[in-house]
Amino acid sequence: MGNKRIHVARLDQLADRRRLSAEAATLAEAYGPNAYSDYLLNHGCRPNRKTAATIGRLIGVRVKAADGTMQPPRSKADKLARAELHRKWDHIARLRSALAQLALNEDAPESIIDSIVSADRAEISKNLEKAVKWLIRLSDYWQCHGTEERPQATHSNSRRIFRPANIRAANDS
């Protein structure tokens, strides 16, 4: 019975070693050989935390340690940068969602105005001006995206209706 357990444990170790060798080969193929892929190939196991942190700093990425943690740990600046990136992704997700929802509207805006109940009017009024101003700024930057030209703050004739005074007047009816 004892030999059977040892045999199964060795088979598990061999399978783990094969998985790590395959991972190391994939990493070396994708990014070129480096200290981490070499370590995995030479030792057949993941490095301890300290060694993983050293390797990670050396090659400029976080690597997986034997205990499953990613090393080196993120610095406060890294965490703040990551949070800022996620915040921007949230903005993009909201923008995509809002535009997709608005694109589904088929009726003319003037045809639905009378159907908006008074309970919704306050919330729509509160958000409409800010949303339209934001969309105008987005549109200005979108038009010149990838060019050297920088947008000017505009209220051209095509956008005159979006001026704050006109929005309030339209919502007051």
Last residue of some domain: 71, 90, 118? 71
Judge if 160 and 123 occupy the same domain. yes
Q: What is the pLDDT of residues 26-64, one digit of tens each?
A: 988 988 999 999 999 899 899 999 999 999 999 999 999
Last residue of some domain: 71, 93, 119? 71
Check: pTM over 0.75? Answer yes or no: no
- Determine the structural domain holding residue 63 and report its residue range: 2-71
Judge if 14 and 58 occupy the same domain. yes
**Domains of the chain: total:** 2
CA distance 134 to 94: 13
Judge if 61 and 132 occupy the same domain. no
pLDDT at position 169 over 50? no
Judge if 7 and 43 occupy the same domain. yes
Judge if 25 and 101 occupy the same domain. no
